[in-house]
Amino acid sequence: MLTRLLTSAAALSLTAGMAFAEYKLTILHTNDFHSRFEPINKYDSGCGDEDNAEGKCFGGSARLVTAVEEARGRAENSILVDGGDQFQGSLFYTYYKGKVAAEFMNKLGYNAMTVGNHEFDDGPEVLRGFIDSVDFPVLMSNADIADEELLTDKIKKSTVIEVGGEKIGLIGLTPIDTDELASPGPNISFSDPVPAVQAEVDKLTGEGVNKIIVLSHSGYGVDQRVAQETTGVDVIVGGHSNTYLSNTSDKAAGPYPTVVNGVQIVQAYAYGKFLGELNVTFDDDGNVVSAAGEPLIMDNTVTEDQAALDRIAELAVPLDEIRNKVVASSADAIEGDRAVCRVQECQMGNLVADAMLARVADQGVKIAIANSGGLRASIDPGDVTMGEVLTVLPFQNTLSTFEISGQGVIDALENGVSQVEEVKGRFPQVAGLTFTWDPAVAPNEGRIAEVMVADGDGFVPIDPAATYLVVTNNYVRNGGDGYKMFSGDDKNAYDFGPDLADVTAEYLAENAPYTPYLDGRIKQK
């Protein structure tokens, strides 16, 4: 009898222990890689071999290969996921489209990714080719793709993977305004992330999955809203806003992880400069017991994998002649950081807008408006190569000229400053005009307080009833970044001008050495 009682007690003890069994998962993550297969410098632009040898470079796929392998080695269980925007940003994408991204994501062994807006830059066709080439699911829960034959049954809203004997649910999110940010085509519609995520959470929990991670290319602010307004999500791996979260840096936008409503939110800046590493412990019911980590900087302390280096060098051969050509020089660094250009006048914005206007001024064009989302990097001092210009302006946009009323220009600027708080790419960089805006006024309720147009050697108030000739890029002219007032067939538009990168390179050459500057053309009230 005593033996039986002892056996029963042992069984009860074991059962109790099992009820509180902990499951540890390391979530390795990247976001907004933007085709930076080669190392970057401190300006997020290309970094040469000499500087790399001197330890001045960051990132690159060869470092990621090493870092991921080492992180997996110290983890009990691990996954590698991506928060979107692998596409666009360097000549590798311009030349190869999604093929190199697919190759290296397969090599790194990703478990899943979400669709970023830039995955639609070349329409559903290029995205479909990428999906067909990767060994992992590509996710997007808040889009209706039923009418897009190229993607139907190719993109899942969510998926379940098994790691260390436990089921992990993964859900994808894409920006609700992707139709304004990229070229998804007419057959796809996007919806609010909260109900989309909740629907997938309910589906997964109904299948017995109690550990759920959202891969969200929606921005740090939206991620916090999703965390607050949904139930059942454990972790959100973010992207889109290029947010640096950290517990050690005073440059961080928030802690890593940022906890909202019990949900652990992480993001790892952009361009492969960091590898996110979040260590999560779940209890037996799938609740997060603890979560800790820090983005790992991919600096010269991370050894570059030789096989990856060799492959990248091989892929770079056709690109070298284009990008190594020195086209100009700059007397100083040209600031193009998104954190600056998307909220105020910036040096790169002035350069690009000036270059656009100079190119078409002889056609009677008076105003240039450039979307800051089209500016993707800074340029360092000294020689400027075509590769650097293409890193700043990678989208192969062409100059577009058109006619619009003064009121239309005012409306465009109003749109441009409507999302400053979210640091969105529609913020307007301008030439040929100055404007003052008031952040105290609600978006789209009259933030634009004053607009002055160049006239001879000075400026005069814009005339809402007058017609002005304007230059922008073809993406904005056709309604991108919310500039719907520029689109339509009634503008006497010409959308097929020279490539914006070529225009900017030629302007830099004509003004070499170029001196970056600010002149107060954009003011806050």
Closest by CA position to 263, among listed 213, 193, 199:
213
In this predicted structure, the answer to whether residue 178 has a pLDDT above a threshold of 70 is: yes
Mean pLDDT calculated for residue range 50-65: 96
Which band of pLDDT confidence, cut at 50, 70 and 90, is reported for residue 8? very low
**Do 326-524 and 23-317 have the same topology in CATH?**
no
Q: What CATH superfamily is the domain 23-317?
A: Metallo-dependent phosphatases (3.60.21.10)
Supply angle C-alpha 62, 66, 71, rounded to 5: 145
Whether residue 194 contacts residue 230, with contact meaning beta carbons closer than 8 Å, is answered with yes
Cα(265)–Cα(60) distance, integer angstroms? 25
Strand residues in 240-324 grouped as ranges (E):
258-260, 263-266, 274-282, 288-293, 296-297
In this prediction, what percent of the chain has a pLDDT beyond 70?
96
* pLDDT at residue 323, as a whole number: 85
**Quick one: pLDDT at residue 160?**
98
CA–CA dist 336, 245 (Å, integer): 21
Task: State the average pLDDT over residues 66-83.
Answer: 98
Q: Is the pLDDT of residue 266 over 50?
A: yes
> What is the enclosing helix (H) or strand (E) of 78?
strand 78-82
Helix (H, G, I), strand (E, B) or coil at 276: strand
Question: What pLDDT does 16 receive?
Answer: 42
Mean pLDDT of the chain: 94
Mean pLDDT across 25-41: 96
Helix (H) or strand (E) run with residue 10 in it: helix 2-19
What backbone phi and psi angles, to 5 degrees, belong to 192?
-55, 135
What torsion do the CA atoms of 4, 9, 14, 17 make, to the nearest 10 degrees? Answer: 170
pLDDT band at 4 (very low <50, low <70, confident <90, very high): very low
Task: Report the alpha-carbon distance of residue 353 to residue 367 in Å, rounded.
Answer: 9
Write down the domain spans for the chain.
23-317, 326-524
How far apart, in Å, are the Cα atoms of 108 and each of 66, 127, 299, 408? 9, 19, 18, 48
- Listed in order, strand segments (DSSP E) in 283-407 are 288-293, 296-297, 326-330, 367-371, 382-385, 399-405
pLDDT at 198 over 60: yes
Does residue 12 have a pLDDT over 50?
no
Which helix (DSSP H) or strand (DSSP E) does residue 392 occupy? helix 386-392
Mean pLDDT of 457-478: 96
Q: Which residue has the tokens 């970044």?
A: 481
Could you tell me which residues come within 8 angstroms of residue 371 by beta carbon, excluding any fewer than 6 positions away?
416, 425, 426, 427, 428, 429, 472, 473, 475, 476, 480, 481, 483
Bridge partner list, 292 = 279
Mean pLDDT to the nearest integer, 331-352:
97
Sign of dihedral through CA atoms 393, 396, 397, 398? positive
Distance CA 498, CA 519 (A): 27
- Write down how long the chain is: 525
Q: Comparing 43-47, 289-293, 409-413, 486-490, which segment has the lowest mean pLDDT?
A: 43-47
| pLDDT per position as a tens digit, 287-335 | 999 999 999 999 999 999 999 999 999 999 999 888 899 999 999 999 9
Alpha carbon distances (Å) from 373 to 151, 158, 179, 393: 26, 29, 15, 10
- Over range 44-61, report the average pLDDT: 91
Strand partners, 514: 330
Helix/strand/coil for 436 = strand
CA-CA distance, 204 to 77, in Å (whole number)? 21
Q: Are 64 and 28 in contact (CB under 8 A)?
A: no
Q: For the segment 205-239, what is each residue's pLDDT rounded down to a tens digit?
A: 999 999 999 999 999 999 999 999 999 999 999 99
Q: Can you tell me the distance from the alpha carbon of 346 to that of 520, in angstroms, rounded to the nearest whole number?
A: 10
Q: Which residues, listed in sequence order, are joined to residue 522 by a DSSP beta bridge?
A: 435
Q: What pLDDT shows up at residue 284?
A: 94
What is the band of 20 on the pLDDT scale with cuts at 50, 70, 90? Answer: low
Per-residue pLDDT tens for 116-166?
999 999 999 999 999 999 999 999 999 999 999 999 999 999 999 999 999
Between 124 and 21, the more confident residue is 124
Handedness of CA 495, 496, 502, 508 (dihedral sign): negative
Residue 257: name the closest of 245, 273, 275 by CA. 245
Q: Which fold has domain 326-524?
A: 5'-nucleotidase;  domain 2 (3.90.780)
288 CB-side CA count, 13 A: 23
DSSP 157: S
Does the pLDDT at position 181 exceed 70?
yes
Burial label, 213 (beta-carbon count in 10 A; 0-12, 13-18, 19+)? buried
pLDDT at 2 exceeding the cut of 70 = no
- What contacts 24+ positions apart, CB below 8 Å, involve 482-485? 482/177, 482/180, 482/415, 482/418, 482/419, 482/426, 483/371, 483/412, 483/415, 483/416, 483/426, 484/415, 485/404, 485/408, 485/411, 485/412, 485/415
- pTM listed for this prediction: 0.79
